[in-house]
Each structure stands twice: as structure tokens, then as C-alpha cells.
Structure 1
Amino acid sequence: MRNDEQCRRIADHVIETGDDHAAKKYGIKGPCSLSELSTIDIPRSFPPDAMHLWWENVIPDLVRHWRGKFTTSAQVETVESLIADDIDTNDGPDNQPSQRLPSNSRRCKTTPAKTNTDGKKFVKTNDEYNIPPDQWLQIGKDMAKSSITFPSSFGEPIRDFAEHCQHLKAAEWRNFSLLMAPIYMKNRLPEEDYTEFANLIDALHLACNYTITEAEILVVEERLKRFVIYYERRYYCRLWDKLSSCLPVIHQVLHVAQAIRWAGPMYVYSQWPMERVCGIIAASAKSRVSANRNMGITIVLQEQRNHLPYVIPAHPDGDLNDEIEDDDGAVLLHRLFGRRLAHKDIPSKSLLTMNKSSGTMGLPKKQGALGAWHRRALQTFLSNRFNNVVPLDSTPKNCVRWASFSSGVRGLAKKTFTIVSTHMRRTNSTRSSSMIRYEFETDVGMRYSGYGEVIFFFSVADEDMNLLRQYEPRVHVGDDEREHASRNFAYIQTFNVELEDRLLLKTGLGRKEVIQVDQIVDLIGLMINEGREYIVSRFTCLF
């Protein structure tokens, strides 16, 4: 890779001599304005962006190979053959084939839309890695069925891939490659291609993680080199008519590991935040005639509003219940904004009922009593936890039911998630956020993961928990955090799961149990594939 000095020397040479041959050879037409900054070091200051490299180029191009759409000539020939076959099937009564009509005839215009759509998006080729169109249609149907079990915090709503594969956004390609493709490509791709694709996904997880070690950088480097070698051998095949498969982004993959050594994990310099800000600014334009001026004024007003807390006291003079208007009816802005700032810190939709490391129970809440089956499940949990038999009569009966649970404390925890109970779920909620992964400890000290769906959250009174301390000899009385956190529980429907290679398959329903909310470690979803349900987490479906 060329360094900063070499890049600048080539740029100066092109400008001074007008050498078009050097400009085409090195891809440098001259120095840019940013090169005048002393802090710019080419190419260290421009590492590969994860969004554009992976989710807008490498992954979509790889899927185009599987769809049979990468080679243009094969695509056109296949589309025409599909239309021709459809016309030839309409033979006359004397078994004489009907006369083929020109492409602009009315007969071709009335060709069923489904045939044209399938031919345009998916093409059957002789490549071993090609997936037939009917398989893509099935994948699209299964993805649409999985939309209700795909939590909203995981990203964009799932769309039918067969209908929208040409219009997916980068965020949708990310979810498809990390959470769906390993499931849907299993047993559809040849074993060699699926193994190499899983190798690429493992490299992406490491490269885009929040933290990465030197040893993991070496792993990323080896995995990406392995992918590039596989790509050239499998898709390029060193054939002249497949030379278009050798894209510049495939070569750029080889420099990802070095860029991580220079600038850190790929999320640090990802363009997701910039694209989000650009979208917000573009949406603020209300004038087509003076769009730039309109957006500039909107940004200034927004920043002025953000600076109000620094110029207006949080507690204005007088009581918060004072009128915000003077005797003449004019609005007193310092009282109006002061009152709003004072009420801003009061939580309105959640109540902190646990320690900071565990999370919060969310409103609304409802007073109630535990049923017989609920109390038996709680009795079983308490007996296992205390390592002692807890009588059913001593099990708490009254409780407070909560609508949701949020992990961590927002603003303090790096990653948070919110679990919504199925019994207190909003009626207009179309995507489930009730399925969880939790951890439990065996008698020998081994920790395992369990999976299930939260039916409802509940907490019991401190007085009832204190009565149970007689059955808990292992807990210190002075441990306030343990006592405070132990009163919050979740009544769940457990799942039976089975590890299928590296995919986690839900095989059925288990029993209903009670767990503590601090046992919940992750929010999960379900992806449907040919009638089978596979578990996915926020960032991966490979376990």
C-alpha cells in the first residue's frame, strides 16, 4: 500500500505534467483540498467504511451471484427465454405452435407479471452456487412471516426479500447478512460456499465489534484473506468473461485489518451517524426554492433550543406552580422553560426499582395477586435459590405486575434492551419484544443459557421477601443490593432448543418458570425457515 509521501508525489506529478496515463494507472487525478491539512495522512486518514464496504457492496454483490444476476448477458438471455417459453406453451388446436409475436405486441404486454418479476430478479444459471427462483420466493415468504417475531430494537422491519431485494437499504442488508442469510442459505448453498460465507460473517463480527484485541485483528486478517482467495477462485475462475467479478471493493477487503490497526474497530469510523444526521437535515428542508438557507436556519434554531438549559435556570424564581403569564398576558419565557426543565428529570414512564447494574421496571403497573400456578413456579424458584424447601404457604401471594423491563441505566450502560411482557403488551404493537435469553447456575457451579418468552414481570413486597430470609442461609443480611434486587421476577414460558451446527433451533415449548430479572442477559427474536423457528440475537444468529 502506498504511503502519504508517495500519494502526494503522484498527485503533484499528475498536476504538473498532465500525465493522463499515470492518473489512470494510480487512480489519482491530483491533490484534494483536505490534503492541505497537516493532520491528513493518506491513506491512514481514510480507512474503509463498514457501511459502504460490506452492506452496500460486498454483501449485495455476493447475493447477486447467488441470484444469477451478476453477469448481464446471462440475465438478458434468461429473461427472454422465460417470456418465449410462456408464449410457446399456448399451442393451437392442431398442435401447431402459435406464431411468435414481436416484443412490443399486446401479447407480450399481457404476460403475467409474476413471470417477468421472477425473471428480472432471479435467474437460473449453471453455477453451483446459484439458488433457483422458487427458493428465493420461499425465502421471501418466510422472511415476511418472521416480521412479527423480529424485535423492533433489532432494526428495520423485515420485508419480503423476493419483492424488495433490489431496494434494500444498508441497514436491511446488515440484518440480512448477519441475522438471516446464515439461516436461509443453510442447505441451499453448497457446503463449500456456505462455509466460506460463515467465515466472512465471523470476520465481520470481529471487525465491527465495540472492542478488538491484537489477536482478534490477526484472526480478521486471516479470515478476510481466505475469503478473497475463495472469491477469486469461485466467482472469477480466472476467466475473461467473468472479469467483471473482480471488483475494487474485493481488493479493499485485504486492507481492512491494517485499517483496524490504524484507527480501531470499524464502528469507530462508520458512516452510520453521518448518514443519520444527513437524513435529519434533509428532512428539515421545507422550501424547494431556498433549501440550503432553510436547512441552515433550522440547524441554528435547533442548536439555540439545545442551549436553553445553559442560559435559563432549572429552578426559576418563585414556585413551579406560578403562572407563566404576567398581568398583561405576556408569556414569561424563563418561567415556561424553567418549569419544563425542572420536570424534565422526573421519570414518567419507568420507575427505578433495582440497582444500577440490573435495570429498571417499566410502567404501567398493576396491583394483583399471583395465581396457584404462578405461586408454585415461584416456590420452585425460591427453593432452588435458597437450597432449602420453601412451603407454599410462605410463598408471597400479592404482587405488582409491570409492563416491561429495561436492562442497565440509559446513558450509563453501553448496550441496553427493553423486554415487554406479553400480558401487558400494547394492542397496537405488531413486533414482539418478549423473548429472552437468560442464564442460570447449576448445583456444581456451571452456568448455562436458557431461552423463553416473558408472560409478565412482577415484584413482591419487601416485607414478604424479608419473611423468606429464614430459608436463605447463604445471603448476608447486610447486603442491601441483593435484598433490593431479589424482589423483581419474571414469569416465563421456556423454550426447548437444539443446536443445529451453529444455528439454534427452537424445537418446542418447555415448562413455565419464574426467574429473577437480573438473570436476563439478552433480547432475542425468531426467524422462520420452512416451518422451523431459529433463534437470533441482536447481532448474530451463529452460536
Structure 2
Amino acid sequence: MELEPANPQRNSACICTCGCNRVVSYPTRRAHVAAKRAIAGEAEHAIDQPQPLRDTNVVAGRKRRRLTFFGDYYEEEQIDGSDFPPYRDDEPPQANDVNSPPFHDQEAGLRSIHVDTRNQETIAQRWSSSSRPIPGSSQREEEGLDDDEAEDSEDSSEDWEDNNDLNDGIGEHEDRSEEGAEEEDQSERNEDENEDDSQDGANENEDSEDVSAPCTDIVSISFWDRISDELAYKLMTTGLSLDSSDLSMLRQYALKVEDHLTESTFVKFKFAFPESHHHTLRITKRRIELLSEFHSIRYSCCINSCVCFTGLYNDLTQCPNCKEDRFNDRGQPRKVFDYLPLIPRLQAMSANHQHATKMRYRAHFVHQPGVTTDVFDGSHYQSLLSKLVPGSNNNNPFYHFSDERDIALGLSTDGFAPFKQRNKTCWPIILFNYNLPPDIRFQKQYHLNVGTIPGPKKPWDMDSFLWPLIQELIQLEIGVKAFDAVSKSVFLLHAYLILVFGDIPAIALVMRMKGANGCSPCRVCKIAGVRGTNSKTYYVPLRHDQVPHSNPPRYDPSRLPLRIHNELMDQAREVQSAPNQTISNQLAKQYGIKGIPILSTLSAVSFPESFPFDFMHLIWENLIPNLILFWTASFKDLDHRDQGYTIPPEAWKEIGASTASCKVTIPAAFGAPVPNIALLQSQMTSEMYSNWTLFIAPIVLRGRFCQPKYYQHFMKLVGLLKMCLEFEISGEMLDVIDQGFQAWVEDYEKFYYAHHLNRLSACPLTVHALLHIAWGIRVAGPVWAYWAFPMERHCNSLLPSIRSRRHPYASISAFVVAMVQLNQIRLKYNLFSELNLNVVKQGLLKNEFIPHSYPSFKLSPPRRQQPLSAYLRDKLQAALATRFEEEKTTIQALIDLDGPITCYGRVTLLDGGDTIVGRDMVRQCEDSRDASYIKVCHMSSLLKSQYLAWS
């Protein structure tokens, strides 16, 4: 055995001898060796004496540590597995309820080899040795080439405006071995300080230990995955119950986390509720982590968020971009990125019967050719069904989604400003589980936040932050062992990332595209851009006949040259393998891509099919605001004099006043009221722009333009947008959408661009992207399946967690970790109702009534006995005649409506439906909304006929 110093320093490092070959501290190495010996010994014992996985005696004689409460503190003690609380079910599962694989199988070893190989290939491909070791460049400014950090250029009114002056960041893995008690205690003290807003001056990374090594995380995961009896031991705790003390602690902690209570408020619980048991926040956190068996993995990153020190950057001591030091003078990381592992969360979902049942939606989905209703109707997903997974066993190859439990994932990221000044941003990375039904898929409790890239700037190398996630996704492609609560069997869980979406700057970072600074700005097609005068931005009009030496002189919008995955990756390799930085930058500018993106290593990701345009940012945050700028003669520095699209200022003020007055007649279910758009446009959100465009603008803009063609042009856009938002889109409708946007963009260039070079800025990338909306629906499904509204809601939910202005990103990270731990506990112990702190109405209230003939409706007070007016009686008789397909005279003879009738003021559609109010029966406040002017009709055929008439 290798000799160790008598008193090794805390930060001294060595090569671990457990087999992982990682650079770790001496205490961590001892922990690795001890853990490997202990578990290996238990596995050998299990082979000699195999036992059923979920038999109540499977852990008899095994020791497990738990925290036992003694007065005001917890103490660790060892208990026998036989002392576990009883199962929550009436009949505990028996041995024959579980189909378990052998404890040691050759497949586990093969998967480890495949994963390690894919891991090495990822580094070789993304950070190729043939490319420059540091992809940054001080040379680019000296040679006068385009600086990608100025990608926002002058289009501040477009998608690029929210991400100005941003830079990237990176983080390194921190070992969290339980045996290193000193390291764990100091790390936990640091986490307590970060979350406690009362200790604002605490250094967020004061005691972080930087011990990660490149290319070894997946090897470690594979090693633990091979120990099947350890998996069985974890499965034993699934579905167990907790005692009242734990439930009380969990409710208190859930209240603190979900309602963003401060630590000082949490301490007051003990005095406000003296009859209940209360513990310190630190003890509570340790118990929560023990019950959830979940914690974040910490990576060090650049102080300016340029890179995360993973992959090629793992051994660097300075940021390759800004040259800031990675460590402080005590050898500790100056900033960290907390990564939240994905695999244990997916395993917990599969092991929970309720959640696993919901995730069968994908398996039960039936694809109807020619009809688009969900992401699984897209051609990209359909093509994956016949594509083999790389790295699968040659003797037993398998296709993507060949198992009904395979999970389809979507990834979204965006930069948001935690403070009003908007000079600092952070970048959440969240995943969506497409296996869930659409009505719950994007709810907050189902978001999978895998980390929030800390600010203050945008990532310079986004791939370095995605590196931990890519490792897990590669592992999930090969398969990880999990327990299926529906079939009560152990199986190989597979998950595949199929879609990535966000605004244009975010996707440019993920795809490593040049965006508006490249000669080919579009990520879907190879259309050549035209640079504006004295501008670095490339614009994309269809007609180039005014541009000297332009080839071709114009593009046919129905025959745009689309990008192909293999061709784009070949161009990326050519850029990355260029002999010097100058040639690399020139090629990147020509092709529009700066190198091989790390997401290209995933088998289910295809460029550009996996990256459809985000409908929310494209329409509601770019196109509509830009049209308003044209109408108010405010779009950039163009000459708007004598243009037919301008609206006089007095008329625009009237439009704003009419918009504000509309709020009293629009139901609250439609969203927040739209303010005076003439005075308060800066307060408009995407939802407000949507409601204004679809419901208000067609009325208030009528007759406002000097030339009717501009209003007709706008109404064609409204019709196309409404068709895009349909829940079911037929192939015929999709053709109408495609042809409609082609004609609309051509008319837009005729009306607003006027084919003059001095008006090139009227043709930004966001207008050209309209030509790819129909393509996105064909490839990836309906627009709501990949728009950014869920990401925006997620960002808004993070804002209340910022209790410290000095350490905002640490506060966000602590909140996200706490929420994930609570969700893990809900899944593991099936505590959805026990930890639901919201008031849930049970049964019917007084005077409420559910008719037997209409079991999905509930009638609520006020209730009156009164005769009907002649007008209402006539309408009711006509409705009954339609309902029962009888003559009106027959209804009059059979049903007496002349006497007093019981009338209810409210009717509610059950199972989360709307509540409809009788305007004359329910008392209204002065500022209440009046929904009595709503007309309901089916719009699909109407919109189609209207569009065909306009065409």
C-alpha cells in the first residue's frame, strides 16, 4: 500500500487507489477504498445467499445508519433492516412480485465499457486535440474579426436584447463522501450560510473542495450501477412510511422552502407552536438529505461565469477567456456551479406507482398520419423509432423508445436577470418529461432543473456547463437499472433528449452558432445574409437583387436550402480543426457554426431538427413589438415619413385607451389585463402581447391605417397564428400555414423593407424564421410543445428565493436543491397528499349540487326560486329542443317552464375546469370583469375559410 504523510494537509491531493484513478484528497481516497471493499464484500455475500429484492427479510442483519432524535439533537445509531417501518400498502409485496436480474451480469460490465468509451469520444470530439487547446482568442481583436461577444449587435429590440453583456461560467465536481466528516461538515456549514439571508456576508464557496478529475464521473456511476444488491437495498425504502416526527419536520421544511421563509422565521416556529416538535435548520437539512438520498454535485467555475472547469478545462487554474484565477489564495474555488443529478430523479419517478402510471402516456399515444397533436407526431421522433441506439450490445441491439418505459426529454435554457437593473443574468437549465400527459407536462412540480449557471454574465462556453448532464444522458442511452412500480420489476431505464428550445441567443450558445454575426445567420437553412451599412449584423431578406454581386439574387421561400445534420457537423469539424484561429474564425463566419456542439454526441439529437424556433419569443417578444414600432414610426433609425403603415399619434393614444378599457370584459382565465399599450408598453409581457394580438388588435386597429392593405396584412397574420395554436393540426392546415407565412413574409418585405438597402434592418432573423414555423410543426410537433412559456414561469418562480443581494446565485441554488429533495421524498415515500400544504376542498359545500344528468358540472350559490322572463324561457326551450332532438312545441307541452324555477348563479366544470357566472345573479364589484359578452364558436374551419378568402 502506498505510504501517506503522517499529517496530510487538507488540500493535498493524490491519485485514488480504489480504481477510479481520480485526483482526490487523502481522506476521500480512504473513503473510496473503504466503501468499495464494504460493498464488494456485501455483493459477494449476496451471490452466495441470494434473496428476493423486496422480501421484508432481505436486509435483516445489515446495518444502516439513521439519525435518532434525543431532545434537541440527532445522534447516529445503527439499526437492523428488519426495524424498517411497515409498508404503506395493506399487503406488502412478496418475492414473486418482483422479477429481478442476477446480481452480477455481463451486461453491466459491457455498459460500463460503452459509457466510458462514449465519454472519451465526447471529449475528443468536442475539445479535439487537433483544435486549439484554448478555444478563446485574444487574437481575434488583433486581426479585426467579428467578436462573438458582440452578437447582440444593434438588434436590441429583437431576441438579443435580454442578453447583453453576458459571459459564461464553469464549475468543478466536489467529492461528497460521507466518510470525510470534516469536509462534509464544513461544506454543510457553507450551504447553511448561503441559504440564510441573515448571514449575507458569508462567502458562498468558503469551504468548497475542488477534487474532480476529467473523464471519471461516468466510470464511478457505472461501478455503483453494477452492484445490484445496493440497488435492491434502495428499492426497499420505496413506498415506506415515515413516523409523525418526520412528517412534522417535512411539513415545516416544505413551508419554509415553498413560501420562501427566512431562517429567522423558521426559528420562530418553536415559539409560535410550542406543542409541536421543532429542530434547528441544520438538523432539518441533514435529515431531509438523508431521507431523500439526494444532493447536488458541485463544480468550480469562472468568477465571471465564462466556463465550467470540466472536460478540457478540468486542469486549468485560470479562465481561458477572461484569465481570472480559478482558486482563491486558500486554494478553494472562487465560484461554483451546483449540478443536480438527473438519473436518481428518473429512477424515483419510475419507482413511484402513481408517477410511473402517468409516464405511460407516451407508450399509449397513437400516431395518426397526417395529424399533429403532440411532439410524438413529429417526423424527428418518428424517425428515432427505427434508429438503433449506438453503444448497445451487438448481440442484443435495441432501437430508441423500444421499451414503453423509455423517457423522451426536452431541454430548455434562457438567461434571466435576478435584479431590475438587468445588468446581471443567470441561466437555468431545465428538462421536461414528454412521457407525461400534455395537461400536466409543463406544471412546475414536474420541471427537472439540473442546475442554474450563476452570473453575472452569459456563458462563454455553454458546453462546459452541459458536460455533467451529457455524461448522464450518455449513461441513460445505454441504460441504468431502475425499479418499475407498475410491473414490480427491475429494468433498464433509458431516456433520450429529443428537443432543445429557447430564444435565439440561448440556442445559438447551445448549438455553437454564430447567429446574426454569421454569413448564414439561420440555424435551419443556408440562406445568405446581407450585412447592413456600418453594421456587423447580417439581415436575411428573400430578395437580394439590390445587393451587388449577390448570388442568388432572390430566394424562393418554398424552396429554401435546408441544413442537413451530417453536412453541418462536417462544417463544424472543419472549423474546429482549422490550422489557426484566423482561418477558424473565417470558416465559422462563412458556415455560421463555431465548432462541434457537445449535444451532437447524443444519438437522439439531430441538427437542426431538434432545435425548432421558439414560438413565444419569435412572435410575442419580437415580431409584434417590432410591428408596433413600425406603426408608431419608432423602428430603429429608418425614415418613416410618408409611409402608409404609420398610425397618427392621436389615433395611437385612442388605441391605447380602448385597449385598457377592454379588461373589464375579458375573463381572468385569459390572463392578466392588457394595459394602455400607448403609455405602458414597457409593462407588456408575452401573454399580454398574445391577448392583444389575437383578441383586441383586430378591433382597435380597424380603420386606423391610411391604406387598408396594412390592416389586411396584419389580419392574415392573426389568422395564421390562431391556426398554429390549434390543438390538432391536419396536414391540410399545415400546408395552409406554410404557404400563408411564405406569402406574408413576401408582403412584409414589400410593405416594410421596400427592397431598399438602406432599409435592410427591417429584415431581421426573427422575420425570416416565420418561414420555418410550419417546418418546426412537421418535425417537432405543435408549437406549444417547445415554446418558452414554461421556462419563463420557472424563472419567475426562482426570483422570490433570492434573499441575499450579495449571493443571489447561491440562494437560487439552495432553493432548487431543497425543492428537488422534497420532490424526491414525495416520490420515495408517496407523500403527495401529506406534503401538500395548499387548501384542498373536500366534497360539496352547503347548497352546492351536482346534477345526475350532468356529473361533470357543479352548481353553486347564489340560488333563487324565480319565474323566467319570456326571453330566457324561449331560449331555454330552444336549447332543450336541440339537446333532445325534439320539436320546440313538444318541449313546451312536456316541460312546464311557466312557474318558478330554481336558478343557480355559478356552474363549475369539474376536474379543473372553468367557473361560469350568471351576471344578473352574482354581485359584482366595481372593478370585476364582465364575461357576459363572450361568444364561443369553433374557429378551425372559420379561420381557414377566412384565410382562403383573404388570399
TM interval, shorter chain, is: 0.5 to 0.7
Relative to structure 1, is the Cα distance of residues 345 and 46 closer, same or farther in structure 2, using a 3 angstrom cutoff? Answer: farther
Q: Deviations over 1:136-157 (max 9, x none)?
A: 0011111122221121111121
| Letter aligned with residue 183 of structure 1 | I
Match for residue 29 of structure 1 among 588, 594, 604: 594
Between the aligned partners of 1:177 and 1:339, the Cα distance in structure 2 is 38
Between the aligned partners of 2:836 and 2:625, the Cα distance in structure 1 is 51
8 Å contact kept, 2:848–2:861: no
Between Structure 1 and Structure 2, the one with more strand by share is: 1
8 Å contact kept, 1:361–1:402: no
8 Å contact kept, 2:702–2:711: yes
Between the aligned partners of 1:199 and 1:435, the Cα distance in structure 2 is 25
8 Å contact kept, 1:149–1:431: yes
Q: Detail structure 1 runs of 4+ shifted over 6 Å in the superposition.
A: 312-315, 338-343, 355-358
Relative to structure 1, is the Cα distance of residues 238 and 303 closer, same or farther in structure 2, using a 3 angstrom cutoff? Answer: same
Unpaired segments ≥5 residues, structure 1: 75-123, 316-336, 440-446, 448-500, 503-541
Q: After alignment, is 292-301 or 165-174 more displaced? A: 292-301
Match for residue 43 of structure 1 among 605, 608, 614: 608
| Letter aligned with residue 3 of structure 1 | I
1:420 corresponds in structure 2 to 917
Matched, 1:149 2:665: yes
Q: After alignment, is 196-205 or 220-229 more displaced? A: 196-205
8 Å contact kept, 1:353–1:360: yes
Classify the secondary structure of the residue corresponding to 1:173.
Answer: helix
Match for residue 890 of structure 2 among 388, 394, 408: 388
1:239 corresponds in structure 2 to 756
8 Å contact kept, 1:312–1:338: no
Q: Deviations over 1:29-70 (max 9, x none)?
A: 122332222221110000011101111111211221111111
| Letter aligned with residue 40 of structure 1 | V
Q: After alignment, is 338-347 or 29-38 more displaced? A: 338-347
Match for residue 633 of structure 2 among 46, 51, 68: 68
Match for residue 254 of structure 1 among 765, 768, 771: 771
Between the aligned partners of 1:73 and 1:338, the Cα distance in structure 2 is 57
Match for residue 369 of structure 1 among 859, 865, 887: 865
Describe how 1:99-498 pairs up with structure 2 within 5 A.
125-189=641-705, 190-303=707-820, 308=826, 311=829, 337=834, 345-346=842-843, 351=848, 353-354=850-851, 359-366=856-863, 368-371=864-867, 373-374=868-869, 377-378=872-873, 381-382=876-877, 385=881, 387-388=889-890, 390=892, 394-395=896-897, 397-407=899-909, 409-411=910-912, 416-422=913-919, 423-427=921-925, 430-437=928-935
What's the CA shift for 1:305?
5.2
1:510 corresponds in structure 2 to none
8 Å contact kept, 1:51–1:272: yes
What's the CA shift for 1:22?
2.1
Relative to structure 1, is the Cα distance of residues 241 and 401 closer, same or farther in structure 2, using a 3 angstrom cutoff? Answer: same
1:2 corresponds in structure 2 to 563
Relative to structure 1, is the Cα distance of residues 259 and 350 closer, same or farther in structure 2, using a 3 angstrom cutoff? Answer: farther
Between the aligned partners of 1:69 and 1:289, the Cα distance in structure 2 is 38
Relative to structure 1, is the Cα distance of residues 69 and 375 closer, same or farther in structure 2, using a 3 angstrom cutoff? Answer: closer
Classify the secondary structure of the residue corresponding to 1:53.
Answer: helix
Classify the secondary structure of the residue corresponding to 2:603.
Answer: coil
| Letter aligned with residue 865 of structure 2 | A
Classify the secondary structure of the residue corresponding to 2:908.
Answer: strand
Unpaired segments ≥5 residues, structure 2: 1-561, 882-887, 939-944
Between the aligned partners of 1:257 and 1:287, the Cα distance in structure 2 is 45
Between the aligned partners of 1:435 and 1:137, the Cα distance in structure 2 is 25
Between the aligned partners of 1:56 and 1:374, the Cα distance in structure 2 is 48
What's the CA shift for 1:349?
9.4
Relative to structure 1, is the Cα distance of residues 39 and 235 closer, same or farther in structure 2, using a 3 angstrom cutoff? Answer: same
Classify the secondary structure of the residue corresponding to 2:612.
Answer: coil
| Letter aligned with residue 595 of structure 2 | G
Between the aligned partners of 1:339 and 1:56, the Cα distance in structure 2 is 35
8 Å contact kept, 2:614–2:788: yes
Relative to structure 1, is the Cα distance of residues 388 and 44 closer, same or farther in structure 2, using a 3 angstrom cutoff? Answer: same
1:56 corresponds in structure 2 to 621
Count of paired positions: 367
| Letter aligned with residue 433 of structure 1 | A
Relative to structure 1, is the Cα distance of residues 274 and 358 closer, same or farther in structure 2, using a 3 angstrom cutoff? Answer: farther
Relative to structure 1, is the Cα distance of residues 73 and 313 closer, same or farther in structure 2, using a 3 angstrom cutoff? Answer: closer
